[in-house]
Structure 1
């Protein structure tokens, strides 16, 4: 009986958790972005905690549950795609998902850098030279939340963390420059980073 199978699958999910589903890196990122908007904006943005998802499993996994016949079928369910059903389509807010919780941010160098929503505050991790001239990182969630910027060395290691770029260029950049320019001489380390050209390149001549 398909209805008995559906009930059994729901019971199995509630007992063993959402880990029975397939959570790709993309699906996990979508869930983290939705959790961020629920935390910051609330309202129509749904709770996507395990408890909330299990409580509404029949709603967001409806068609997948209808087709599934056992545990292996649940393991093939694309959780991220199914989660999209919980976005606030009825109010029209779903259309603002990318605006309010963007997957990527364009930085002054032209790179489009992926944000990390895995912590309490969204993180923009990018090489320091790519942000030259940027006085303020974007605020997301309708301007409510400033990004936490992880400024990386040319090797991709954190050199500084700030939510206030203007203050970093004024007070913190000098010590970072003194520490790293000898170690990475092929990369630009201008005295005044606020007027320097942002770049993804080293100082070596083009074509070499």
Structure 2
């Protein structure tokens, strides 16, 4: 019979810590996402003057801005296993984009005007960045069909919503047509199979009016 003093104590589980090199790589990745976003924001500002009509208006587009988060997620998906980190990277890319766009407007174009819309787009970046960063990762790597199809349809639906706005509210048929081309092209170009392409287009058709009601409903309330 063993005495209480001789009973072996349970060995505590080791605390797992991320190696310093891993933390450094993660911080570098996040920094690069933010810097890329800043550069993309400056570029979209410049493209409004460089591209011919109606493509120039796509540069001034929430859909194009969200594509950056989508591309960030798709790029990081094979390299970063943690979807939460991909969501943060998408947010940083979008926040950097807003900062770059309005920073260049302030410093290179004589002023960005009121701070209301930069702040609104920053808030939207914190929502759309994680959403479309995750969507990009799902479209690239998810084994689940509904995630891949939903992601492709959602990003196409952003351009569909802008096409609806250009057609119904602004009366710009050319710009609406350019948005419609982009809305259809994304699911067709990025899907893996014809089945995914067809389903992605179907999701895009449904997502377009939903995104239109959500995004432009918010913007109309703010501007009104």
More relative contact order, 1 or 2 (CA 8 Å, 6+ apart): 2
TM-score by length of 1: 0.26
TM-score by length of 2: 0.25
